[in-house]
Chain A
Amino acid sequence: MRGMWAFIHKLGSPPWFFGFSGTLVRWLLPVTVLLLAVGAYWGLLVAPPDFRQGNSYRIIYIHVPAAVVALAGYYVMAIAGAISLIWRIKMADVAMRAAAPVGAVLTAVALVTGAIWGKPTWGAWWVWDARITSMLILLFLYLGVVALFEAYENKTAAAKACAVLTLVGTVNIPIIYKSVDWWYSLHQPASLKFTGESAIDASMLYPLLVMIGAFYLLFAMSMLLNMRAELLWQHRNAHWLRQRLDVS
């Protein structure tokens, strides 16, 4: 327990985090690329086609992971926002801002791949279905955080405003999860369930789980890379950073 708190405490220290994240990213990059390649190959070429949708369902292997991690990423951003508001920890600001563009890209991927999947399945690129509309709102929330931070001269005030926007936007998350049950229209309900049997065969499920894992790692890596770029700029004149860069 004490070890965990010491670790959390160290996360708030820019010099320590800079070194730690550098090592972590070097490991994450090859593992993520490998998992993405294996998952994509498996899903695209090895898994059997769906008995009703045929081969178009193969888009699930990017659509669902992107959507799942876009939602999980919002939690990361919201928790960082709450820490930033309550304890005024600078590293939490950096984490919150680093998560926003990554979440925005993943949400856009989920929406675009969903549109491409919708065309052969529903006959339309876009419908104002509850799930799709609430995902579009998620995209605007992510982009809103990015834009709001840039709009402020005073970066402390900017971080505060972004944290408030992030926390207010959390309302949207349960709406996205529940949208397929509350407003049953076009979007199919979840195939994966935490409790009970998943509505998907093992031959299709395993590549999906590999891709979900790969997208989680991708999110973590991209967020860490964003944080490192931001820390480098914030501490560009700091002694510890200059020393470290001299060595390398």
Chain B
Amino acid sequence: MYFESLAAAWHMDGHGSYVWMAYALTTMAVVLMVWLPLARFRRHLRWVSADQLRQAGDSQL
């Protein structure tokens, strides 16, 4: 590790707030890029299984 302590890594000679803010925002974007399509996939999956249940119910009538 380049920095001598965690506090030094946090401060980064005055640039810490910029650097950590950039990494925090990017982390949020990365999480969204994976989570949003997965959430959409699961939503469609729920629709399909509900539809399968509906059809199973219809065929019993």
Q: Give the interface of A toward B (CB within 8 A).
A: 29, 36, 40, 44-49, 54-56, 58-59, 62-63, 66, 101-102, 105-106, 108-109, 112-113, 116-117, 119-120, 218, 221-222, 225-226, 228-229, 232-233, 236-237, 241-242, 245-246
Contact = CB atoms under 8 A, between A and B. Distances in A.
Contacts of B9: 44-45
B17 to A, nearest CB: 9
A58 B19 contact: yes
Contact of B40 (A109, A229, A236): A229
A180 B16 CA distance: 27
A47 B2 contact: yes
A66 B26 contact: yes
A59 B48 contact: no
Interface of A is mostly: helix
8 contacts: A54-B14, A62-B26, A102-B33, A108-B29, A116-B18, A120-B18, A218-B33, A232-B41
A49 to B, nearest CB: 7
Contact of B16 (A55, A63, A109, A218): A55
B22 A62 contact: yes
Contacts of B38: 225, 229
B45 interface: yes
User: Which 8 pairs, one residue from A and one from B, show the smallest C-beta to C-beta distance?
Assistant: A225-B37, A55-B12, A56-B15, A229-B40, A229-B41, A222-B33, A55-B15, A113-B22
Nearest to B40: A229
- What is the interface residue range for chain B against chain A? 20 to 34
B25 A109 contact: yes
A137 to B, nearest CB: 20
Interface in B1-51: 1-3, 9, 12-16, 18-19, 21-23, 25-26, 29-30, 32-34, 36-38, 40-41, 44-45, 47-49, 51
Contacts of A49: 2, 13
A62 B3 contact: no
Contacts of B29: 105-106, 108-109
Nearest to A237: B51
Contacts of B12: 54-56, 58
Contacts of A245: 45, 48-49, 52
A222 B38 CA distance: 9
B9 to A, nearest CB: 6
Nearest to A241: B48
A113 B16 contact: no
Given A46-B1, A218-B33, A226-B37, A55 B48 contact: no
